[in-house]
Structure 1
Amino acid sequence: LLKLEYWAWKVLSKDSYQWINQPNYLNLFYTLISFNKNLIFNYDYIDDNIKAALLIPDTIDLINGIFEQINRTKDDNDPFFTIISLWLDNISLFIYENPQFDTSPIICHMNQYIGHNYLMTEQFLFYLIQLQQPTIAQTIFTTKQLFYIRTCSFSLNSYLAAQEEDFPFTAQEIMNYIGNDFVKIIDVHSHIIDMWSEKLLTCIAHLIGFISACCWWNGENITHINLL
């Protein structure tokens, strides 16, 4: 099983165009994603260190390869975004349930990269501005947008919930960068909850989770909340 998980990481970190449209590959990845999620919440008799060895890659190069794939992808609805979002979501779930692994060099590197290259970017702000519209066309919810708003927010949420220091930005810097747009999203959509689509719900839920993690980061919740 460890060899299979390692093989999956290697495939995900290389040229996705070679396999992304092959049903056999997709079925295998979706099966592995489902298995990994069950592994996190079930199989209590399996030691957490063994689960970590299965879920977390053993080299930074594998994570970097995935990010390189993401950065090269031109199609905003490329199915690679869906696969990798679900794959990374499982890591976030595991870290959320097992915060003792939050200091793993791989996890630290992954979230620092997400912070630098996805969160604190104009692209992230663009997606937040899209979500401020009272009437949202479902076409804006591309697989790339969901990767940014849902997957990256969830990863940083699970990371910051347990991590005290090892992040390139302070909570104040994050709040100053995205806080105003977050408040606008909540202000607009809190009055029209019955119109929320499933994708809007998941975006708002993960943004709230991430902002909450920022607010409670280092225990300075009042200071951080006042920045909103």
Structure 2
Amino acid sequence: MHGHPAKSPKNTNETIFETNAIERIHKLQLLHLRRVRLEGCYTNFPTGLRWLCWLEFPLDSIPIDFPLECLIVLEMQYSSMREVYKGTKSLPSLKILDLSHSHGLSQTMDFSYCPNLEELILVDCGSLLDVHESIGNLDRLVHLNLKDSKNLRMLPKNMCMLKSLETLILCGCSNLDETMKKTESLKMLETDGIPRSELWPGRNSSILTYLPCSLVE
């Protein structure tokens, strides 16, 4: 549903649908929305949804009654959200979370509620100051991209516990001031625009000394 000419408020490009318009699609697995607002209760929303792509999501958080327990991929780029949820929500099947360009996002979710996450993409989230420390418990996390989240100041110290992490992208995180520790599974590291002194404070010897031997790029 891309800019469908349904019931749209005046002077906006936003389209409004009621949730009961989708309730009867019982086998729905992929829902792709852009610049659309859903109004109403989500209690009877299809529970088998596997992939939700909702570009320009208009709310400040995902409604707590949205049934996403079977969701594998959640993409909400360019959203208006400030937090993922108000309260707690279990997403046991979630593998990919992409909230890139959500400029008002000020905090990440508690990752203990999505223990099977494999890819976390938070590109250009300008209001994000830190990442929830529960990220250190994501045993299956392979890809972490925080590119251009310019106000990010610190990374959790327990990130070194990410045993599966292979790609870490921190390009443009110019305010990062937290010491990095070795992540032994890392294969690709991008830190363009960050002074070495910010990543490894007080260390004057070769940078190669502090990089994991698993690194390829």
Shared fold, TM over 0.5: no
Which one has the largest radius of gyration?
Answer: 2
The higher relative CO (CA closer than 8 Å, separation ≥ 6) is in: 1
- Which structure: greater strand fraction? 2
Question: How high is the TM-score relative to the length of structure 1?
Answer: 0.35
Relative to total residues, which structure has the larger helix share, 1 or 2? 1
How high is the TM-score relative to the length of structure 2?
A: 0.37
